[in-house]
Structure 1
Amino acid sequence: MKALWNNAVIADSDEVIKVEGNCYFPPASVHTEFLRESATHTVCPWKGQASYCDIVVNGATNPDAAWYYPEPKEKASSIKNYIAFWKGVEITA
């Protein structure tokens, strides 16, 4: 699976975990040079608190387009620090 935005590969892995229709990429498969921590946080009742990142590629910013769970609840422990994408980020096989 690949995560693509603004003609850049943001993540690439054969070991994604699918949860609720989202593909969570292992941290080592994500090109973190394209990510910038955001101040945004949300709470999922069963996964816990999510932290967000902006994606920045070639001078363009996609705000809060990536998220992860640094300290997930026990039921979501398998996706700890795995990164998912939305807001126009294309996920391809």
Structure 2
Amino acid sequence: MKAVLDGVVIAEADREDLISIEGNWYFPPSSIREGALTKTPTPYTCPWKGAAQYWSIALEGAELTDGAWSYPDLLPGAVEKAGGDFAGFVAFDRKVSVQD
């Protein structure tokens, strides 16, 4: 599967390597193109996943502030609830097209 912003592939991985949670596909960190993401200070904490890390996307002219997020340190029970370990996996804003 691919995460695409303005025609630029930001991440690519096999479907079986991704995790779907609450309508969002989470890509493994190794599938993200190098240099595509920059950490931002935007705060958010999910009651069952934990504190999120937001990322801005900037690659080959495609840009989106806070266009991605991950959960580097999961709360107890999050892996079981999601059906797999997604620590550090990256999900994308709806403006990023996730394609099969």
**Greater fraction strand:** 1
Q: CA deviation at 1:7?
A: 1.7
Q: CA deviation at 1:87?
A: 4.1
Q: CA deviation at 1:34?
A: 1.1
Give 5+ residue unaligned stretches, structure 2. 80-84
Q: Secondary structure at the match of 1:66?
A: strand
| TM-score (norm. length: structure 2) | 0.86
Q: CA deviation at 1:8?
A: 1.1
Alpha-carbon RMSD across the aligned residues, in angstroms, is 1.3
- Which residue number in structure 2 is paired with residue 85 of structure 1? 92
Number of equivalent positions: 93
CA contact (8 A) 2:5 2:62 kept: no
Q: Secondary structure at the match of 1:33?
A: coil
Give 5+ residue unaligned stretches, structure 1. none
Distance 1:62 1:87 in 2: 11
Amino acid at match of 1:64: D
For residues 15-72 of structure 1, the C-alpha deviation after alignment (integer angstroms, 9 at most, x for no partner) is 1000111100011011131111111120100000001000012345200000000111
Task: Give the 5 Å matches for 1:1-93.
Answer: 1-14=1-14, 15-77=17-79, 78-93=85-100
Provide the identity percentage.
Answer: 40
Distance 1:66 1:41 in 2: 13
